[in-house]
Amino acid sequence: DAKTTQPNSMESNEEEPVHLPCNHSTISGTDYIHWYRQLPSQGPEYVIHGLTSNVNNRMASLAIAEDRKSSTLILHRATLRDAAVYYCILRDDRNYGQNFVFGPGTRLSVLP
Amino acid sequence: GAGVSQSPSNKVTEKGKDVELRCDPISGHTALYWYRQSLGQGLEFLIYFQGNSAPDKSGLPSDRFSAERTGGSVSTLTIQRTQQEDSAVYLCASSFGRGVYEQYFGPGTRLTVT
């Protein structure tokens, strides 16, 4: 699976939007971009995924660059509960090995 | 509905003892994964089961680690002759099947080897 690069940490104020970047310059045409987050003392939880087009769900939006070499997870109004480690993962849907490669992620702090 | 459950939530064991960790996936999910997470680190893939296919054991760190999945449902991860470096949180996840289906994680088992 291709590698992703994320900032180690970010800060946001409560009720403000947060843009979490991810670089994946070696992405292949069949790699999906997945985002998971891990709240303190919990297992990771799925946030969103996409291939080429921007995606929205109840948790977040995913903006994918036209060349697909980067993407941004957007939390529209950060809450204290959004403080977590956010992981950006590439997943080739042809790879039936199925193992996700979790890097160190971005630790998001939300300030009240 | 019920999510992925794991037991025990915490396990303290002495070096050299064997431990068994259990995972109950979401009903109907054919894929099951085990990961471990050392303190402050990302997740490390251990093993993957998909239906009745042979498991992908490529992430198991040594032959002291093994896993079974009985009846396509419950899975047990066994660590023999535990070492202090085995101390970590062991996470189980399940998904609907092959492809890009999202993984649902359990709360993990925190293993401490003294």
- Per-residue pLDDT tens for B63-107? 999 999 988 799 999 999 999 999 999 999 999 876 667 889 999
Instruction: Provide mean pLDDT across the span A69-73.
Output: 97
Q: What are the chain B neighbours of A101 within 8 Å (beta carbons)?
A: 45
User: Is there a contact between B86 and B78 (Cβ–Cβ < 8 Å)?
Assistant: no
**B56 pLDDT tier (thresholds 50, 70, 90):** confident
Map tokens 């925190």 to a residue.
B110
Percent of chain B with pLDDT over 70: 96
Which residues from A are below 8 Å from B93, CB to CB?
Answer: 43-44
Strands (E), chain A: 9-13, 18-23, 31-38, 45-50, 55-56, 61-64, 70-75, 84-92, 106-111
B2-44 per-position pLDDT tens digit: 899 999 999 999 999 999 999 999 998 999 999 999 987 888 9
> Which chain B residues are closer than 8 Å to A44 by Cβ?
43, 91, 93, 103, 105
Distance of CA B114 to the CA centre of its chain: 20
The phi, psi pair for B74, rounded to 5°, reads: -65, 145
Q: Quick one: pLDDT at residue A102?
A: 84
CB A44 within 8 Å of CB A53: no
- Read off the pLDDT of each residue in A80-96 and give the average, rounded to a whole number: 85
Give the distance from residue B18's alpha carbon to the nearest chain A alpha carbon, in angstroms: 24
As a whole number of Å, the CA-based R_g of chain B is: 13
Q: Which amino acid would we find at residue A87? A: Y
A47: its two tokens: 């946030």
